[in-house]
A = this chain, B = another copy of it.
């Protein structure tokens, strides 16, 4: 899609943007984070190098956008699960298990970009929404006595998401399920 403008211009921009993000991630996977260059991204996406600068200022911005897109997609899945009927405990367990599965999904290949990208101080927007999603579930469960009340829900949410990052690169699906159970034990009441 370098030259052809088949659709409306806005859709075209979105398509090119996505192609840039995909190309960048492909390079991260196969050559490592530090060797990703704007020139490489452009070549991989089959567009002019200068064109990439029309969309992003530097490599870090590209990777940040990729990460944002990724987390936003996960967020959509997880929000759907979180809104299903049932007690807060079972919903949180479902959300954590689903998130762990996602993280394991592309386990070995590709580092966690979230670690480097909050250079701007705060975590990414989608990442924060994800934390808010978990925190809301926790607060609901604290109200109903399912979860411990001696630790602020915000801290518990941080704990859950960080602990689940251990799912990346785990050997088996069963291990991921076990991990989610362990994390749940950490937030359960009466610990």
Contacts and interface: CB of A to CB of B under 8 A. Distances in A.
A68 B181 CA distance: 31
A159 interface: yes
Contact of A119 (B32, B119, B156, B164): B32
Contacts of A115: 111-116
Main secondary structure of the interface of A (DSSP, over half): helix
A102 interface: no
A191 B182 contact: yes
10 contacts: A111-B119, A113-B115, A148-B182, A155-B166, A155-B170, A158-B170, A163-B166, A182-B191, A185-B185, A188-B191
A87 interface: no
Contact of A118 (B111, B114, B155, B181): B111
Interface in A39-64: 58-60
Counting from the closest, the 3 A-B pairs by CB-CB distance are A185-B191, A163-B163, A186-B186
B182 A187 contact: yes
A29 to B, nearest CB: 10
A33 interface: yes
A59 B158 CA distance: 31
